[in-house]
Amino acid sequence: MRRRRVIGVRAVPGASRPTGRRDDLLAVEEPLEVRVNGESFSVTMRTPGDDFDLVAGFLVSEGLIATASQLRTMRYCSGRDESGVQTYNVIDAALDATAALPATASARHVYTSSSCGICGTASIDAVSKASRFSLADDHSVIGIATLLRLPTMLRENQTLFDRTGGVHAAGLFTTEGDLLCLREDVGRHNAVDKVIGWALRDDRLPLAGTVLQVSGRASFELVQKAQLAGIPVLAAVSAPSSLAADLADTGGLTLAAFSRGDSINVYTHPERVGGIDAGIDGDAAPR
């Protein structure tokens, strides 16, 4: 976090009134260059912290690795600001021979923002990656009451959001509602990559019998990341996109969204959500 002096302003009838100067805490956003075996692969904007988890999860999301053994080492490379201070903004990941090393056609040689993780992909064909983990045999079930509690549990553990109000969160839960890992970042895709990277480094992939709860919307990209990590259920506080629902449907992932208090929409594979079949009578009116 960084402090910045701000002027508070309050609107009053017919005018606005400054309320004084104060320090505000801002979430840090800095670039991170990812290198693979010494070669530049991507530059992304992120909140510093859990960087090794971020890089490991990013490599899973890119389809390069799927097991901890494929990631031999990670290290910060020399990178210094104008005053000569180490910035810790370059990480080189050494992959073993079984990893799917990036080809020129799919390498990300352009800047990727913190709000969009796939817009830097050189070829649109590289977006649809085949997961090495099938969700077809994952018959885990989460109760509807537990699923509805996850956004509150996620929010209660967001320490960086409490202080800045400016980050997304992703939390990995068991189907019993136990929190396994939570990460925060200015980019929602980074928060998910940090969770997946934590799991890879702990040799937990595939993440069968787990639920990924995110603080924002459910995009195509987040569904893809969940599938590549073997996560069977993705729940979002906000809306899904049409492409996200299509990918979840074909990939066997349970997608739930608009999780608000005592209500939620289940878009695909509802068999993994226990207790929602009782009382359903015909089609409800469109949202």
pLDDT of residue 138: 97
Considering the candidates 77, 116, 119, 181, report the single residue annotated as catalytic: 116
d(CA 84, CA 29): 20
Predicted model pTM: 0.86
CA neighbor of 111 nearest in space, from 44, 49, 173: 44
pLDDT of residue 206: 97
Q: What is the pLDDT along the chain (287 residues), one digit of tens a residue?
A: 677 777 878 877 877 667 778 777 787 899 999 999 999 999 999 999 999 999 999 999 999 999 999 999 999 997 666 676 667 899 999 999 999 987 654 555 545 555 555 544 443 344 455 678 999 999 999 999 999 999 999 999 988 777 777 789 999 999 999 999 999 999 999 999 999 999 999 999 999 999 999 999 999 999 999 999 999 999 999 999 999 999 999 999 999 999 988 999 999 999 999 988 645 555 555 55
Which 3 state secondary structure label does DSSP give 200?
helix
d(CA 29, CA 46): 5
Q: What is the CA radius of gyration of the chain?
A: 20
What are the structural domains, with CATH classification, of the chain? 30-126 (3.10.20.10), 142-274 (3.40.140.10)
φ/ψ (deg, to 5) at 4:
-140, 135
Each residue's pLDDT tens digit, 115-161: 555 544 443 344 455 678 999 999 999 999 999 999 999 999 988 77
pLDDT of residue 26: 84
CA 272 from chain center: how many Å?
Answer: 21
Told to judge if 181 belongs to the known catalytic residues of this protein, a careful annotator would answer no
Amino acid identity at 6:
V
Give per-residue burial for 201-217: e unless 16+ CB within 10 Å, then b.
beebbbbebbbbbbbbb
pLDDT of residue 81: 63
φ/ψ (deg, to 5) at 133:
-115, 125
Q: Which two tokens stand for residue 256?
A: 């739930």
Tell me the angle at which helices 188-201 and 51-61 cross, rounded to the nearest 10 degrees.
90
